[in-house]
Chains A and B, each alone.
Chain A
Amino acid sequence: MPRSGQIVQLTVLALLGLGTVVVYSAGMTVGSGRSGLAGLMQHRHGVYAILAVVAMLFTSRVNVRQFLKTRRVVNPLSGLVVLALALVALALVPGMGRSVNGASRWLYLGPKSWGLSFQPSEVVKWVMVLAIACWCTRRRGVMHRITDGLLPPLILLAVACGLIVLEDLGTAALIGLVGVCTLIAGGARLRHLAMACPAAVAMVVWAIARNPYRVQRLTAFLNPWADPLGSGYHPIQSMVTIAQGGLTGRGLGNGIQKFGYLPEDTTDFIFAIICEELGTAGAVLVIGLYLILLWVGLSIIRDCKDTFGRLLGLGVLLTVGLQALINLAVVTVVVPTKGIALPLLSAGGTGWILTAAALGLVASLDQSEDARDEPTPTFPTQPTRRWLGRWSGRWTGRWTGRWAGIPWRLPAKPTTISLRTD
């Protein structure tokens, strides 16, 4: 019986393999015998898949708790957060990013002629998971409080979502949702988060109303047949593609809808192509692989004793699971169209590599030694140095006190007392 971490890695491998095959199948075009760099670019998916596997193998050997243990400049987390947000902001600058379908979500990697680009929001997605897991673990004693527990990560989340929502409502919603769930798991009070709810709803409504195409997507979702060749075209074609496969499917590579009928066939709507070519078996396979990923991941979390590991694992699993769920719901026209990829299946180098790497981290939780929580480093609620006012304890203590690695108080000699606990 392979270990849970190995099962997770094998599942990722299976999804990536299926993804590569289906992406090549869906990307099939007639008479595109291109040469040179453009021709090489046709084979990039295989390279991405290999890179994704390498990334997963690498991260599965990383000790994630280093993020928790290292502090100050050595800890790359705060830097990563800043960098990721900066990249998102950079993609928004006209002329810097690559626009696809009117959304500038991509940043060029190298000269534009290479055609290499990546999605900074993908990076943000994972960095946020890491950051929130880290914060909740360090502050798990005070997560039930607003000001010093919940508010800082919530603000960070709001900033990240606010930057991303300008171009990509789907990813922003996903990041927000995962963030909030992780915060709840990390100890935040539901009623505190409920207070932030109106703000989040307002943000979503504003984002929808701001872009006319989002309103169009909404109406197209509500009644695709009103305009079957215009706004309703995409949902209709998606349903037709799924229905066309029937129970048995048309056979791998034999799909028809990929020949220009179904837009975004290699990316967001790859699941429809899988359903068309592999039939119900394909749908069962994909959803089954995700369920394996989720439940085996959960068993890793269960066996993992420390809060940070659990939170990080849960964040990653929630991201993958929710993203898959939203994508499947979009493709089956249960929710309005959003630009959300199917993790590990939809074509996209950034997505494949980072998702595989993140799931590699989950696998690493299983491989690493059982790490129990260190005793919680708390800081006194009674500030000792009053000269900085009420902030002194919180902020100076953070950098100078035990938080920065210096023991706040010398460990006292353990006094042994027996206590009846029942």
Chain B
Amino acid sequence: MHDDAPQPHLRLVTEKDLVTEAPPQSCDDSPVPRGVVLRPGNTEDGARRVLWVGSGLIGLISLLMVALLGRVILLQTQPSTPIASRIGSQHGTRPILARRGNLLDRRGRVLATSRVVKRLFADPGLIEEPGTFVERVGHELDYDPAWLARKIDRRPHSRYVALDTRLSDDRIERVKHFRLRGLGTQDHAVRDYPQGSLAGQLIGFVGADGLGLEGLERVYDRDLIGRDGELRYLRDSGRRVLWVEQSAYATPSDGDAIRLSIDATLQHFAETELAAACNEFDAESGQMVMIDPQTGQVLAMANHPVFDPNLFRDSNAALRRNRCVTDTFEPGSTLKPMVWAAATQAGTAGIDEVIDCTESGFFVTEGGRRLRDAHGLGKLTWAGVLARSSNIGMAIIGQRMGAARLHQTVRAFGLGTTTASGLPGEVAGTVHPLHKWNHYSVTSVPMGQEVAVTPLQLAVAFGVIANGGELIRPSVIAAPATPYSPVLGRVLTEQTAELTKRVLRTAVSDPHGTGRRANSPLYEIFGKTGTAQVANPDGGGYLEDQYISSFVAGAPLERPAVVVVCVIHRPDKSIGHYGGAVAAPAVRRVIEKSLVYLGVPTLAAPDAIPAGSLVARE
């Protein structure tokens, strides 16, 4: 204070700091004497103000930026529903078609296969000028423009009009280099049946959506259908494909191939002979089933008229039915071997017992029923009753057996229940329950009336006799997924079965046997004919002159390899109607050819085979 040294709380004020003029309304209210103004610049007020204002503003901006960052994180972690729904919408997906599994015959020959074809379609909604569209498409791809125009005009408001469902290779090549708004191609799988109508009803067919609709195609749909793959690709806003997303590529897995027990060659033999027989006798329809009696494998299953699954759209539903399992018929005499064998095994009748079948061929049962044989047969042994197919003889023994045993017998042979073959639409047939049987039944059933069977059931029942007494389960699959024993149970003793087989052999080999027309120089065929009247569908009784001619046979006698059932519906009576006349020759030819094909040794040397017997009749 008293010396000249500046004090710390004092500062040097230069003359510049002092302005004598009045202060310019400054807000400065620093405690300085009036008349002395401290200039803001010198006291760094201006610079400090910049700093404070700047700090405040930048702080505010920073806060807002952090808030926006929060908004970004919120958007990224919890987008609102309409936004979340748009995430990933820039992708398109395209299925990679999986191949449906093939159906093969037991030797691996293809019965049904799939391939991918291109379909040409138009989107009328995108067509700019319909006139020039059809003109250009017609010109470039070689179609009739008028035909195209008609197709499009039929559904002008549709977004998808198929122009060509199976583009030819040539057109595929051309359409690749031909771009036109409203025209597109699409892959789709089609099912081919390279064997045409072969086993058509058995195989069934596949609908446009790739699902099996009938036959084995439907039964094994789950195995046959593959799993479609998927291609996920990125599109730009112009819908152009940019690239395929590697991570989202789902490989398609093709369906499994299924090997059937059917042998295409045997099927062909059966079909041609069946067709020949049906045509020869002007029959309405016919079925032929061939099974291996030892394993139950169905080797052939033929229907006439035939059905071509390639053309299923043009067929009617009745034709598509596999009548070998869906339709029943009264077996008539073809049921006699089963009843005969059961009665013999039970001791109801001895094999050499003589039964009076009347000379006249007419017989009135105790119940008052009138029975008739085709011819008066006189006294026959029990074996002869079967070999000559006497209704009267069977009725007498049937009465002796009684209803309960008869019913049990018929059921034991698998009649009245499905064969568990797994074929679609298989029916159980008809065996009336015991309490519905009347006093006629014991005479009707032994000769094959009052029961209804499918051709397959008949083959299986006959298979019991052929394979030594065991009821087997038929199968159309060559190698079932889970191994199982085809044997369902024993019905006959081996001796009884052997005996029945030999008696049935006489029915064929005996010049008077009903099945003599099935006698073959190559193989020992045993079999039974059947001629049933067609039951009146309107109820009671039978239709006049309407017959079902059937023949069931096995061969060779020792260890039979095949059992063949042939059923021919409504042959023209003026040509022939007995099973022995209509069905037996066809069965013989099928057996001869099949066994040769299967390599079963013939009785005679090969050069003794009559010429032409192995050639299908045209």
Asked if B131 CB lies within 8 Å of chain A CBs, one says no
What is the CB-to-nearest-CB distance from B59 to chain A, in angstroms, rounded to a whole number? Answer: 9
Asked whether B83 lies within 8 Å of A236 as measured between CB atoms, the reply is yes
CA gap between A274 and B40 in the complex, in Å: 46
A14 within 8 Å of B (CB atoms): no
How far is B51's CA from A284's CA once the two chains are assembled, in angstroms? 27
Indicate if the CB atoms of B75 and A239 lie closer than 8 Å.
yes
A298 touches B47 (CB 8 A): no
The stretch from B64-72, B199-207, B391-399, B535-543 touching chain A is B64-72
Question: A244: which B residues are within 8 A, CB to CB?
Answer: 87-88
Chain B at the A interface: SS class: mixed
Q: Specify which chain A residues have a CB less than 8 angstroms from the CB of B82 in the assembled complex.
A: 225, 236
* A145 vs B61: C-alpha distance when bound (angstroms): 28
Judged by a CB distance under 8 angstroms, whether B26 is at the interface is: yes
Stretch at the interface among B11-19, B152-160, B370-378: B11-19
* Beta-carbon contact of B40 and A187 below 8 Å: yes
Cβ of B76 and Cβ of A332 under 8 Å apart? no
Task: Pick from B49, B54, B76, B242: contact of A298, CB below 8 A.
Answer: B54
Across the interface, which residues of B come within 8 angstroms of A321, CB to CB? 57-58, 61-62, 65
For B68, give its contact among A181, A295, A325, A415 (CB under 8 Å).
Answer: A325
Measured in the bound complex, the distance between the Cα atoms of B73 and A287 in whole Å is: 12
Known contacts A185-B54, A256-B90, A259-B242; decide if A382 and B46 are in contact (CB<8 Å): no
Q: Does A58 contact B (CB under 8 A)?
A: no
Residues of B within 8 A of A418 (CB): 6-7, 10, 12-13
| Bound CA–CA A116/B557 (angstroms) | 101
Cβ A259 vs Cβ B237 within 8 A: yes
Given contacts A140-B41, A301-B50, A307-B41, contact A236 B64 (CB under 8 A): no
Contact A242 B75 (CB under 8 A): yes
The answer to whether A307 touches B62 (Cβ under 8 A) is: no
Is the beta-carbon distance between A283 and B69 smaller than 8 angstroms? yes
Q: Chain A interface: which size bin?
A: 35 or more
B83: contacting residue among A243, A306, A318, CB under 8 A: A243
**Assuming the A-B contacts A144-B26, A244-B87, A325-B61, are A414 and B15 also in contact, with contact meaning beta carbons closer than 8 angstroms in the complex?**
yes
Chain A residues lying within 8 Å of B84, measured Cβ to Cβ, are: 243
From A186, A284, A329, B46 is in contact (CB under 8 Å) with A186
Contact flags A222-251 to B (C-beta < 8 A → 1, else 0): 000100000000001001101111110000
CB-CB < 8 A to A295: which residues of B? 58, 62
B234: which of A141, A259, A279 is its contact (CB, 8 Å)? A259
Chain B residue numbers with a CB within 8 Å of A144 are: 24-27
The complex places the Cα of A79 from the Cα of B557 at a distance, in Å, of 123
B549 to chain A, nearest CB (A): 73
Contacts of B32 in A (CB 8 A): 419, 421
B240 touches A30 (CB 8 A): yes
Q: Which of A251-287 contact B (CB under 8 A)?
A: 256-257, 259-261, 275, 279-280, 283-284, 287
Chain A hits for B236, CB < 8 A = 30, 259-261
User: Do the beta carbons of A375 and B62 come within 8 Å of each other?
Assistant: no
| B23 to chain A: closest residue by CB | A381
B406: min CB distance to chain A, Å: 79
For residue B22, CB closer than 8 A to chain A, the reply is yes
Is there contact, CB below 8 Å, between B39 and A378? yes
Q: Mark B415-428, 1 if CB is under 8 A from A, else 0.
A: 00000000000000
Q: Is A334 an interface residue (CB 8 A)?
A: yes
Distance to closest chain B CB from A173 (angstroms): 15
Of chain A, the residue at the smallest CB distance from B65 is A287
CB atoms of A140 and B76 under 8 A apart: no
Check B62–A310 contact: CB distance below 8 A: no
Residues on the A chain within 8 Å of B238, using CB = 260
Judged by a CB distance under 8 angstroms, whether B480 is at the interface is: no
CB-contacts of B131-171 with A (<8 A): none
Across chains A and B, the number of contacting residue pairs, with CB separation under 8 Å, is: 201
**Minimum distance in angstroms from A354 CB to a CB of chain B:** 20
- A324 in the interface, Cβ–Cβ < 8 Å? yes
Known A-B contacts A140-B46, A141-B39; the reply to A381 vs B24 at CB < 8 A is: yes
A305 contacts partner chain B, Cβ-Cβ < 8 Å? yes
Do A421 and B9 touch across chains, with their CB atoms under 8 A apart?
yes
Enumerate chain A residues within 8 angstroms of B485, measured Cβ to Cβ.
none
Q: Can you list, as one digit per residue, whether each of B488-517 has a CB less than 8 Å from chain A (1) or not (0)?
A: 000000000000000000000000000000
Contact B77 A240 (CB under 8 A): no
Contact B24 A421 (CB under 8 A): no
B41 x A257 contact (CB < 8 A) = no
A422→B42 CA distance, assembly (Å) = 18
Residues of B within 8 A of A334 (CB): 68, 71
**Given contact pairs A236-B86, A240-B87, A307-B41, A283 touches B46 in the complex (Cβ within 8 A):** no
Contact B55 A298 (CB under 8 A): yes
Which of A240, A261, A294, A332 counts the most B-chain CB atoms under 10 A from its CB? Answer: A240
Q: State which residues 89-119 of A face B: CB under 8 Å.
A: none
Q: B42 contacts which chain A residues (CB < 8 A)?
A: 373, 375-376
Q: Are B58's CB and A298's CB within 8 A?
A: yes
B62 touches A291 (CB 8 A): yes
A235 CB to closest chain B CB (Å) equals: 10
B237-274 at interface with A (beta carbon < 8 Å) = 237-238, 240, 242
Distance (whole angstroms) from the CB of A247 to the closest CB of chain B: 6
Q: Inside 8 A of A381's CB, which chain B residues have their CB?
A: 21-22, 24
In this complex, what residue of A is CB-closest to B66? A287
Residues of B within 8 A of A13 (CB): none
B41–A376 CB distance below 8 A: yes
Whether, in the assembled complex, B35 has its beta carbon less than 8 Å from a beta carbon of chain A, the answer is no
Instruction: Name the one of A240, A245, A325, A419 contacting B10, with C-beta atoms under 8 angstroms.
Output: A419
Q: Determine whether A147 belongs to the interface, using a CB cutoff of 8 Å to chain B.
A: no
Known: A30-B242, A261-B90. A307 touches B50 (CB 8 A): yes
B24 interface neighbour in A145, A287, A310, A373, Cβ under 8 Å: A145
Verify B15–A412 contact, CB threshold 8 A.
yes
Report whether B68 and A243 are in contact in the complex, using a CB–CB cutoff of 8 Å. no
Q: Are B40 and A141 within 8 A (Cβ)?
A: yes
Given contacts A260-B236, A261-B237, A332-B71, contact A414 B14 (CB under 8 A): yes
The residues of B that contact A181 with a CB separation of less than 8 Å are: 53, 57
Q: Which residue of A lies closest to B237 (CB)?
A: A260
Apart from A243-B79, A418-B13, 20 more pairs, CB < 8 Å: A185-B53, A239-B83, A243-B83, A244-B87, A256-B234, A259-B235, A261-B90, A294-B58, A295-B58, A305-B47, A314-B57, A318-B54, A321-B57, A321-B58, A325-B68, A328-B68, A376-B40, A382-B21, A416-B12, A419-B13
Give chain A's interface residues, CB within 8 Å of chain B: 30, 136-137, 140-142, 144-145, 181, 184-187, 225, 236, 239-240, 242-247, 256-257, 259-261, 275, 279-280, 283-284, 287, 290-291, 294-295, 297-298, 301-302, 305-307, 310-311, 313-314, 317-318, 321-322, 324-325, 328-329, 332, 334, 373-376, 378, 380-382, 411-422
The contact sample of 22 A-B pairs, CB cut-off 8 A, is: A144-B27, A186-B50, A239-B75, A240-B86, A243-B79, A243-B84, A283-B69, A283-B73, A290-B65, A291-B66, A301-B51, A307-B41, A307-B50, A321-B58, A328-B68, A332-B68, A332-B75, A373-B42, A375-B16, A381-B22, A414-B16, A416-B14
- B: which residues have CB within 8 A of A? 6-7, 9-16, 19, 21-22, 24-27, 32, 39-42, 44, 46-47, 49-51, 53-55, 57-58, 61-62, 64-66, 68-69, 71-73, 75-77, 79, 82-84, 86-88, 90, 234-238, 240, 242
5 smallest A-B Cβ distances: which pairs?
A: A260-B237, A259-B236, A243-B79, A185-B53, A376-B41
